[in-house]
Structure 1
Amino acid sequence: MLDEVTRNAIALKKFSIISPLLNGQVEHQGEYCAQVASSVIDMPHYGLKNYSPKTISSWYSDYLRLGIDALKPKPRTDKGGSRKVTTEISDALAEKCCKYPKAPATVIYDMMVKDGFFLPADLSPFTPTSKGKIERFFRSCRLRFLSTLIADEVKDLDHLNSLFWEWLSSDYNEKSHSSLGMSPLDCFLAQAESVILPTNLSLFNEKFLVKTSRTIKHDATLSINCILYETSPVFAGRKVDVRYDPDLLERGLEEVFLYSDDKCIGTAKKVHFSDNANMKRRGRPSAAAKKIKSIDSVTNTPEATPAINLPKNTISFSAMNKKDVTS
């Protein structure tokens, strides 16, 4: 919007251009206007611009009728209003925006077209710069479905699912996509012959596992979300890719898969500390053996002697002395 100072500057610039006509310094008005229009005029606020001879002649006529005020730029007669949007359409727009405050402008536009307030040819929504070739479906769902959903009107989960499938069919699958030039459903059916369905279910599920990198510790263990897993000692000190189902991990996943160069090289099992504490160590007496030994020490139970007298391999000097005496 132009302020009063700028409007006065523009009027003075126009007055300086037509002043030779006012002072009678020019004999032929048409030739003078054509000569001035042949060069660029530096107009305040607007910058360098070209004006036609008819425009310059109109400045002269306006000044003769209304004076210097006629040379000032006039404000728009529809200031504060709209040339295209009627009161009925503006009220409908305000109602839609209040009812669906999270809906983007494109969704409001589609609603107005569907309700018949204006034709699609009357107004085209803003088209952003080129997007990625793969559209993020969850973003479209959030902007076009969830933004128009009124929570108080949803009765239960079945009702919500029915609303979603209705939107998915009418507003997404069967709606023409601007980049594809056809609906997503038609695009899929056009190349349905090239779709290869998975036959190995285990290999198919493997593609959806979460992958993370871990270095196997020297005790052949690794940790995922503070859960300890143990694998073969041959992988100690080696960096591998660990794949697992995050939903099952929260419920106590017993086994994760180890990969190297996209090939499964082994598994790692969850460490149960209770089982590990009761495991018998080689060369160490078990807890039960220690208990029996402590009971024997209290009751002074004699140790069991072998049933068969085995020959001794040691030398008895007393037996040798007796032999010498008898001889």
Structure 2
Amino acid sequence: MKQEKQQAIALMRYGAIAPLIAGLDEDYPSKTAFYMELSTKGLVGPDGRVHHYAPSTIEKWYLDYQNHGFDALIPKGRSDAGMSRKLDDELQERIRYFKTNYPRMSAAAIYRQLKNDGFIINGQVSESTVCRFVNQLQIELRQTPNRDMRRYERPHINEVWCGDSSVGPPY
């Protein structure tokens, strides 16, 4: 996230909790009531749209501001960004094995093989997760796969001809 956008989000959060910092009005009997009303009313984000946050989120912003100041309101990136949460080390090693020993094996074929071998149980890991990991692995290994040839595709013109007719003599 760009620094300007992060600062804009932090300012939006600060603007939301500013009445609590300055002192709560008599309109709200407690901080919880303030959080609830702000949650239902919503906040205008830096993008100009109204966003609704949970009361616990707004309370967390207030407590973070009290404990760590304005810098605590700046959104942080994910600590596990770029790491696969669904693929454990054993599964990653198995995919790595298939890709190094069978470089032309597609991600879909690897997924089917892992499913047949019992490494993946139905619904545990999606095919797109395996595909994403294989693509990342190809970048790491700097493998340039050979040009993928489809069913009737050949490197040179006129190597394959295919005919089809739907009109012919009546029998």
TM range (shorter): 0.5 to 0.7
> Greater relative contact order: 1 or 2 (C-alpha under 8 angstroms, separation 6 or more)?
2
Distance in 2 of aligned mates of 1:122 and 1:78: 20
Larger Rg: 1
RMSD between aligned alpha carbons?
Answer: 3.0
Distance in 1 of aligned mates of 2:35 and 2:103: 55
* Letter of the 1:59 counterpart: W
Pair 1:67 & 2:69 matched: yes
TM-score (norm 1): 0.37
Query: How many residue pairs get matched?
Result: 136
- In structure 1, the partner of 2:113 is 111
Distance change (3 Å), C-alpha of 1:52 and 1:263? closer
Distance change (3 Å), C-alpha of 1:4 and 1:210? closer
**Could you say what secondary structure the match of 1:38 adopts?**
helix
* Letter of the 2:22 counterpart: N
Structure in which a larger fraction of residues adopt helix? 2
Structure 1's unaligned 5+ residue stretches are 127-141, 144-208, 213-240, 242-258, 265-327
Distance in 2 of aligned mates of 1:119 and 1:50: 37
Match for 1:120 among 109, 119, 122? 122
Q: Is the 8 A contact 2:42 2:52 kept in 1?
A: yes
Distance change (3 Å), C-alpha of 1:46 and 1:74? farther
Match for 2:51 among 31, 49, 52? 49
**Could you say what secondary structure the match of 2:25 adopts?**
coil
* Letter of the 2:5 counterpart: T
Distance change (3 Å), C-alpha of 1:24 and 1:107? same
- In structure 1, the partner of 2:31 is 29
User: What does 1:275-314 correspond to in 2, within 5 Å?
Assistant: none
Q: Is the 8 A contact 2:10 2:70 kept in 1?
A: yes
Distance in 2 of aligned mates of 1:96 and 1:69: 46
Q: Is the 8 A contact 2:16 2:43 kept in 1?
A: no
TM-score (norm 2): 0.65
Distance in 2 of aligned mates of 1:121 and 1:50: 32
Q: Is the 8 A contact 1:109 1:125 kept in 2?
A: yes
* Letter of the 1:26 counterpart: D
Structure in which a larger fraction of residues adopt strand? 1
Q: Show CA shifts across 1:69-91 (max 9, x none).
A: 11122221212322121222212
Q: Is the 8 A contact 1:26 1:32 kept in 2?
A: no
Structure 2's unaligned 5+ residue stretches are 129-148, 151-162
Pair 1:20 & 2:19 matched: yes
Distance change (3 Å), C-alpha of 1:75 and 1:59? same
Distance in 1 of aligned mates of 2:81 and 2:11: 25
* Letter of the 1:109 counterpart: Y
